[in-house]
Amino acid sequence: MRTTVAFEGVAELILEKAVKLGLARSKTEALRMGVFALNKEYHLVKDVELEMELVKRKILSEKAEMKRKGERYLTEEEALAKYR
């Protein structure tokens, strides 16, 4: 997901300070760290849910890529054919 945000005032100072002190490589990285801190504090997404969601997104991404390229998954027989 791509999002464009503009920060002014205190939030901008905090992001700049995080980069200046070397806590983050960029303001974007500092924001990413903030999202993880938010999850750690409020337990918004549990590790198991997170892992399952990432797996689901990866599978959907691979299926879309395969469809775009006109590819398909091999059947079990096709995958094992050269070993028989």
Q: Identify whether the C-beta of residue 18 lies closer than 8 Å to the C-beta of residue 7.
A: no
Tally of CB atoms within 10 A around 15: 19
Answer whether 0.85 is exceeded by the pTM.
Answer: no
Give per-residue pLDDT as tens, 24-71.
999 999 999 999 999 999 988 888 888 898 899 999 999 999 999 999
Which residue ranges make up each domain of the chain? 1-44, 45-84
